[in-house]
A and B are shown apart, each in its own frame.
Chain A
Amino acid sequence: MKTELTTQNKIFNEVKKFSSQHTYVFSFFALLLIAVLINKNFLSYSYLSTLILQSTIKGIIALGMTLVIISGQIDLSVGSLTALVSGLGVVVLNTTENMLVMLLFCMVFGLFLGTINGLLVTKGRIAPFIVTLATLSAFRSIIVQLGQGGPFNVSENVYQSFRLIAVGTIFKIPNLAIIFVIVTAIVYIVMEKTKFGRYIYAVGSNEKAASLAGINVVRIKTLCFSITGLLTGISAFLLASRLTSITAPNAGVSFELDAIAAVAIGGTSMNGGRGRIIGTFLGIIMLQMIEGILIAAKIPPFLTGLVKGVIIILAVLLQSRKEKS
């Protein structure tokens, strides 16, 4: 009798522990319910695949943002970085007519720009908020100047094949959705199964202790920005494929907002040290769902920003209350 009770208790405790660490799962299902109630077609295959497809580009950036935030930092420059890499990526594509070269360029250039952010923060000892606010402005300015305000258009020769990356499907599953899942899986494995991931959590939780345990804090913090740059580079590549035309002043605007919102909704602590990649994955999809719900509920599109703002505040409020208890 007694042992039964303890096993029951154990299960109860496990459920309690899981629910306290993974609140985003519950929010996800709650949102799903609302979405289905408002829009009967919500669970249809086409709707769901569109949802993931729309989440991919911002979602991949949000994965990087998760690393940055878990390590106790922030990156506001991702939107401008997307535009810069994407615009120049199109130029590379048009000159080489090779998509692989373009992808490689986007990844390396993104990595490079992210590393600049990281080094300014760690070696330059400037607050991440300030550094990335400055590069947000700088990256955008460079690409607008290079494009002279106009768009970067993918040339006729590669247009069809390049477009296919973003709009194509494999076994009726959108390519973008597949790419998102694969990238998420890789980042998940890095965070959960390698010591590098463990170090990121450690640095975000207690930098001093991490350093005194022999972790190279400067390197870890810099690499978080580098990886975000790399992932943003991949997103920039996909964005170019999806739009086939990058308008320098508009591309990627407010991506940082959506990425940070997704991380917050996904249950990652804004103080660093705690957070889950799966949370961010669901977080960005939730954000997309909310947009869908707003449209279905015929709420004026101008108000999406307001709703997103409220959601970020609510998510962080819930998070900080949880941390206190």
Chain B
Amino acid sequence: MFLKMENIVKDFGVVRALDHASLEVEEGEIHGLLGENGAGKSTLMNILAGILKPTEGAIYINGALQENMTTKKSTEVGIRFIHQELNSINDLLVFENLFIGEEIHDKWGFLNKKAMIEKSKEVFIRMGIDINPLELMENLDTSRKQLVEIGKALLFESQLIIMDEPTTALTNKEIDNLFSIMRTLKKEGVSIIYISHKMPELFTICDRYTVLRDGRFIDSGIFADIDEHRATELLVGRSMAEEFIVNDGIKGEVVYEVHGLCCEPFFREISFNLRVGEVLAITGLHGDGRGELAEALFGARHVSKGEIHLEGERIQLKSIKKVMEAGIGMVPRNRKERSIIKDFSIRDNLSIGHFVIKHKHLFINKEEETKRFEKNQRITRIKVGNCEDYITSLSGGNQQKVIISRWLEIDAKVYILDNPTQGIDVGAKFEIYKIINELVKRGKSVIVFSSEFPEIHKIADRCLIMYKGNINAEMTREELTEVKAMYYATGANMEGIDENRTYNTK
């Protein structure tokens, strides 16, 4: 047993990210670590790499207890971490990136460039890729940057390599290459912890698995003993028996149509339509192009091809204002970055949407604004003392209600909600679901982009599941189960690893 992590607990303030999670990795095995977003995979790995300190729990390497793990110590025992995000420094050369923080020095204490370049070449030969170590990092495309990142882990002797979603930016050929490197490493006795959302990859390359859910250890075993359905069930857990929000809005005519929308490399040939009073969920996992699609629908991202029609009329996607005037409203994801104007009061944050397309007078009127705020406050139940306080004084849920009110005020026909319940507590989430329900009752149509399956269950009439920039499946409320959704979102319906990235929906 090379690695044993026992009863790891990690608290962030009042939030318990890991609740007595355990993980065991044998020498020379590729271990798949599975879990939904927020299950605690990254936290556990950060603890192993010494980046985070566990609140409780023990880590054993080769049977020896490791106390006070630091990044330095972790490197010393041979643990290398390939991060999910690209950490490359674009203004440096490739070899400089490879050796960053671990430069080779000559006897005078100067950088030994020759040795570093030589070693870089060796690593790339071993990986079967032709990257020039003297190339400027900026000139590499994303997949090659990712490969350099992986190369970092191979520079030095290591015992355990953690790969956190290493394939999101890679082409299929590069993935095959990576897998053969992984198999070689395995033969050399190196262990690998492999984190991925993609079922075909996990089943292809991994020997054993560990599943985490809500920060807890769920199951561990051999991949050969389970199939993709079973794996998905383990991921998702109990069938969700929580209460549904009854969506009894009458579904009318098709009001909104998207035809063949393309925006390489994020998504392609996206077509769907939406009826009056319908809630359509669009879901998927990291790297599915969902966020970019949401932006494109709102005119915030340029599309190379495709049309959008609202009530039969083509929407000009040139500017956001034009899209708003046509009758589309959007609550963007990542509230803090994309919605909140932090130097504005609560009331002024609400007013902005109104000003952009409804306000026609020369001067603005504070009393009108306050009245508008009070009207919306009743609808969306914003809990607030004084509407002239800064918006940052509110809780996340209340901030989001202010932002939703901003868009209710423009009285759009179709509302696009991109991750509307991100980072807010359960109670506030529920209230936002109610608002969505009220919207469709009033004859509005809603598109919700979400990665949370329980949420989709509660609100959606229909669900599109995206995988690598395509719509992989479409399901009605009756057909939709969490297991199925996960099955299509992970691309598990693909036989093995898909070569050309195009496939049927069934």
A residues contacting B by CB (< 8 A) are: 189, 193-195, 198-199, 201-202, 204-206, 208-216, 269, 273-274
Given A195-B355, A198-B355, A273-B343: A213 in contact with B319 (beta carbons within 8 A): no
A-B contact pairs, 10 of them (CB 8 A): A202-B344, A204-B343, A205-B344, A209-B337, A212-B339, A213-B341, A213-B356, A216-B319, A269-B343, A274-B343
Assembly CA distance A195 to B359 (angstroms) = 8
A208 to B481, CA, bound (A): 36
Interface centre among B321, B341, B353, B406 (most CB of A within 10 A): B341
> Quick one: given A193-B363, A195-B364, A211-B320, are A206 and B340 in contact (CB under 8 Å)?
yes
Chain B residues with Cβ below 8 Å from A209 are: 332, 337-341
Closest Cβ of chain B to A69, distance in Å, is: 13
Question: Is B362 in contact with chain A by the CB < 8 A criterion?
Answer: yes
CA distance A60 to B348 in the complex (A): 28
A198→B332 contact, CB < 8 A: no
Structural contact, B348 and A198, CB atoms closer than 8 A: yes
Q: Which of B338, B343, B348 has the most CB of A within 10 A?
A: B343
Given the complex, which residues of A lie within 8 Å of B321, measured CB to CB?
Answer: 214-216
Chain A residues whose CB sits within 8 angstroms of the CB of B348 once the complex forms: 198
Residues of A within 8 A of B357 (CB): 214
Shortest distance between the CB of B349 and any CB in chain A (Å) = 9
* Least Cβ–Cβ distance between A4 and chain B, in angstroms: 19
Contacts of B279 in A (CB 8 A): none
**Residues in A whose Cβ lies below 8 Å from that of B406:** 213
CB neighbours of B337 from chain A (8 A): 206, 208-209
Q: Is B324 interfacial (CB 8 A cutoff)?
A: yes
Bound together, the chains give a CA A273 to CA B345 distance in angstroms of 12
Taking a contact as CB atoms under 8 Å apart, the answer to whether B363 and A212 are in contact is no
Q: Which of A195, A205, A211 has the most CB of B within 10 A?
A: A195
Which residue of A198, A215, A269 contacts B364 across the interface (Cβ within 8 Å)?
A198
Residue numbers in A under 8 Å from B330 (CB-CB): 212
Contact assessment for B339 and A214 in the assembled complex, using a CB-CB cutoff below 8 Å: no
In the complex, residue of chain B having the shortest beta-carbon distance to the beta carbon of A10: B386
> In the complex, A201→B359 CA distance in Å?
17
- Taking CB atoms and an 8 Å cut-off, the chain B residues in 367-409 that contact chain A are 406
| Alpha-carbon gap, A153 to B72, bound state (A) | 73
B428 within 8 A of A: no
The reply on B300 being an interface residue by CB < 8 A is yes
Residue of B nearest to A211 (CB): B320
CA of A210 to CA of B340, assembled, Å: 9
Docked-complex contact B362 and A194, CB < 8 angstroms: yes
Main secondary structure of the interface of A (DSSP, over half): helix
Interface centre among A193, A194, A201, A214 (most CB of B within 10 A): A214
Given A198-B364, A211-B300, residue A205 in contact with residue B319 (CB < 8 A): no
A212 CB contacts on chain B under 8 angstroms = 298, 300, 320, 330, 332, 338-339
Tell yes or no: B113 within 8 A of A by CB.
Answer: no
A210-B320 in contact (CB<8A): no
Q: Give chain A residues whose Cβ lies under 8 Å from the Cβ of B343.
A: 201, 204-205, 269, 273-274
The reply to whether the CB of B342 lies closer than 8 angstroms to some CB of chain A is yes
How far apart sit A199 and B330, CA to CA, in the bound complex (Å)? 19
Q: When chains A and B are docked, how far (Å) is the Cα of A210 from the Cα of B344?
A: 11
Q: A206 CA to B300 CA in the complex, in Å?
A: 16
CB-nearest residue of chain B to A273: B343
Whose C-beta in chain B lies nearest to the C-beta of A207? B341
Q: Which residues of A contact B339 (CB under 8 A)?
A: 209, 212-213
Q: Which of A195, A201, A211, A216 meets B344, CB within 8 Å?
A: A201
Known: A199-B355, A269-B343, A273-B341. 20 other contacts (CB 8 A): A193-B363, A194-B362, A195-B359, A195-B364, A198-B352, A201-B344, A206-B342, A209-B338, A210-B341, A211-B320, A212-B298, A212-B338, A212-B339, A213-B339, A213-B341, A213-B353, A214-B320, A215-B356, A216-B319, A274-B343
Q: Whole-angstrom distance between the alpha carbons of A206 and B339 in the complex?
A: 8
Contact (Cβ within 8 A) A214 B359? no
Complex CA–CA separation, A189 to B348 (angstroms): 17
4 closest A-B pairs by beta carbon, nearest first, are: A273-B343, A214-B356, A205-B343, A195-B355
Would you call A206 and B341 a contact (CB within 8 A)? yes
A201: chain B residues at CB < 8 Å are 341, 343-344
Measured CA separation A269–B324 after assembly (Å): 31
Alpha-carbon gap, A86 to B261, bound state (A): 54
C-alpha spacing A145/B47, complex, angstroms: 67
Question: How many angstroms from the CA of A189 to the CA of B364 in the assembled complex?
Answer: 10
The answer, among B342, B352, B359, B362, for a CB contact under 8 Å with A213, is B352
A214 vs B321: C-alpha distance when bound (angstroms) = 5
User: Are A194's CB and B363's CB within 8 A?
Assistant: yes
Nearest CB to that of B340 among chain A residues?
A209
The distance from the CB of B357 to the nearest CB of chain A, in whole angstroms, is 7
Task: Please encode chain B, from 272 to 316, with 1 for each CB lying within 8 Å of some chain A CB and 0 for all others.
Answer: 000000000000000000000000001010000000000000000
User: How far is A244 from B319 in the complex, measured between Cα atoms in Å?
Assistant: 48
Given contacts A194-B363, A213-B406, contact A273 B324 (CB under 8 A): no
Q: In the complex, what residues of B have CB within 8 A of residue A202's CB?
A: 341, 344, 352
A2 to B343, CA, bound (A): 33
Of all chain A residues, the one with the shortest Cβ separation from B353 is A213
Q: Shortest distance in angstroms between B115's beta carbon and chain A's nearest beta carbon?
A: 39
CB distance from A178 to the nearest CB of B (A): 24
Measured in the bound complex, the distance between the Cα atoms of B364 and A209 in whole Å is 21
Contacts of B364 in A (CB 8 A): 193-195, 198
Closest to B388 in A: A17
Which chain A residues lie closer than 8 Å to B338 at the CB level? 208-209, 212
Cβ–Cβ < 8 Å partners of B298 in chain A:
212
Q: Which residues of A contact B362 (CB under 8 A)?
A: 194
In Å, the complex CA distance between A194 and B363 comes to 5
Q: Provide the residues of chain B in CB contact with A193, threshold 8 Å.
A: 363-364
Distance from A324 Cβ to chain B, minimum over Cβ atoms (Å): 13
Q: Which residue of B lies closest to A195 (CB)?
A: B355
Query: Taking the nearest CB of chain A, how far is it from the CB of B405, in angstroms?
Result: 12
Q: Which of B182-206 contact A (CB under 8 A)?
A: none
Closest to A213 in B: B352
In the complex the two chains form, what is the Cα distance from A120 to B433 in whole Å? 45
* Highest count of chain A CB atoms <10 Å: which of B298, B342, B357: B342
B388 CB to nearest chain A CB (Å): 9
- In the bound complex, residues from chain B placing their C-beta under 8 Å from that of A198 are 348, 351-352, 355, 364
Compute how far the CA of A206 lies from the CA of B356 in the bound complex, rounded to whole angstroms.
16
Which of B324, B348, B364 has its CB near the most chain A CB atoms (within 10 A)?
B364
Quick one: closest A residue to B337, CB to CB?
A: A208
Give the Cβ gap from A228 to chain B, nearest Cβ, in Å. Answer: 21
Contact B324–A214 (Cβ < 8 Å)? yes
List the A residue with the shortest CB-CB distance to B366. Answer: A193
The distance in angstroms between the C-alpha atoms of A202 and B352, with both chains bound, is: 9
